[in-house]
Amino acid sequence: MSHVPPSLEDILASSTATAMPSDEVSESTKLRNRFQAIANMNRVFAILPGEKVCFLTDPLLDRRVVDAISGIARANGASVREFMWHSTRNTEILPEARPLVEDSDFVVSTWFASTGCPFANKLRREKGQRWVKITYFRNLDVLDTPQARFPVDLVGEIIRATARMYPRNTSFDMRFTDPRGSDLSIKFTPQMTENLLGITRWKGVNTADTPGCYVHYLPTHGPNLYAQTAHKREPGKFAEMEGIIYPQWGVGFPKPFDNKEVGVEFKDDFVVKIHGKGRAADACREYLIGARLNELGCGFNPKAPRYQVYPAGPNSPGGLHFGCNAKGESPYLRRTIPNWEEPHIHMDFVTWDTTVKAGNVTLLDNGFLTSLRDEQVVAAASVYGDPVELLESYAI
């Protein structure tokens, strides 16, 4: 009897067929991974002896997170106070909390107001107060993820390499395009570039040891390719901007958008029209006309889940979120995600395939952050392991 070669069905039916390593992780590897993540965490929460630490929290936060950070504070000889509010969606630091915040050296916050509130910005600027926003550390189990143990210094190196790509001392257009037909241009002046890149986050500061710093933990979210920081948040200031973005998804929608299901047209920082038909476009049109592009953020941690949109857009390199703030709340978002960590005036539109050019320099190539192949970034990654695996093996 002649040999019968296996069919594809035979191979797939085999209980031992595999061409990939096992997904199982040994207990010793899990332990090593966790301590690597804890080492990162200790570096980010650089609390000093005698400092007053303030927590701004909400009831849905995993209490183990507060306990873990409080343990770091106690080990360093610092004192801890906490102000809990029923929601994270405050757009301003609450009057009731301001005396406690003002009397603190180090603030750990889940509140949306952390970055944009003038009161908080003034304390960082004038007092040197240090802030850590923990939008992406709401559950202690996050310590067991690849993004938690990705070297915090390497995130900073990627950010600094991206900053070096911006044209300096000259005006340029930043242009966003993609296969769906998106085409958005933002005119940058030399002063805008200096303002944008002058903040601590664009300097690759991801540990809260620099006076006046504002960092995210886990160190994944931003900084922004364009934001109101380009105008030092001065009222009435905006960029010359024109064009349309066809996002691939948006926070609060259960599935990605089909091709051109939603189109967002911008003019001088503001949403002037929502294109498209169907429920998603209608939900956006209901409240976003006149909304302002508050932040145009990019991810910088290669081990952040590539397609995770909730709660505030992707943090994987090259994933973009177009964060818009409307004048009123979205009834749709209040129904679908009532306990969202962001206020219901907000919307993060998301893309993963955008090409971004700053003048003649390509920052993103079809969603790939080109600074990942910067010589200094590759050299820094080599200290921790295989640079290709570290920088270009995305967590899908």
Q: Mean pLDDT per 10-residue run, the chain (396 residues)?
A: 88 91 92 96 97 98 98 98 96 96 98 93 96 96 96 96 97 98 98 95 94 91 91 89 98 95 97 97 97 95 95 94 96 96 96 98 98 98 97 90
Other Cβ atoms less than 10 A from the Cβ of 229: the count is 21
User: What is the value of pTM for the model shown?
Assistant: 0.93
Do 239 and 322 lie in one domain? The reply is: yes
Dihedral sign, CA of 201, 354, 238, 313? negative
Q: What pLDDT is attached to residue 51?
A: 98
Q: What pLDDT score does 64 carry?
A: 98
Residue 212 lies in a domain: no
For the four alpha carbons of 380, 35, 144 and 137, in that order, the dihedral sign comes to negative
Give the span between the Cα atoms of 65 and 63, in whole angstroms.
5
Residues 131 and 176 in one domain: no
Q: What is the pLDDT of residue 221?
A: 81
356 in a domain, yes or no?
A: yes
- Indicate the number of domains in the chain: 2
Q: Are residues 181 and 46 in the same domain?
A: no
> Please, which residues have CB within 8 angstroms of residue 89's CB and are 6 or more apart in sequence?
112, 340, 341, 342, 343, 344
pLDDT at 349: 97
Amino acid 318 reads G
First to last CA, the chain: 46
In a domain? residue 334: yes
Query: Is 386 inside a domain boundary?
Result: yes
Q: Is residue 14 part of a domain?
A: no
Mind giving me the DSSP string for 175-212? Answer: EEE-TT--EEEEEEPHHHHHHHHTSGGGGT--STTSTT
Per-position DSSP letters for 95-149, written without gaps between them:
TTTHHHHHT-SEEEE--THHHH-HHHHHIIIII--EEEE-TT-SSGGGGGSHHHH
pLDDT of residue 190: 97
Question: How many residues can be counted in the chain?
Answer: 396
pLDDT at 233: 85
Question: Looking at 98, 120, 144, which one is the last position of a domain?
Answer: 144
Whether residue 162 sits in one domain with residue 130? no
Return d(Cα 113, Cα 87) in angstroms, integer: 11
Residue 375 lies in a domain: yes
Whether 259 and 191 map to the same domain: the answer is yes
The whole-number pLDDT of residue 3 equals 87
Strands 263-267 and 214-216: unpaired
- Are residues 48 and 172 both part of a single domain? no
Domain carrying residue 304: 151-204+220-392
Same domain, 345 and 374: yes
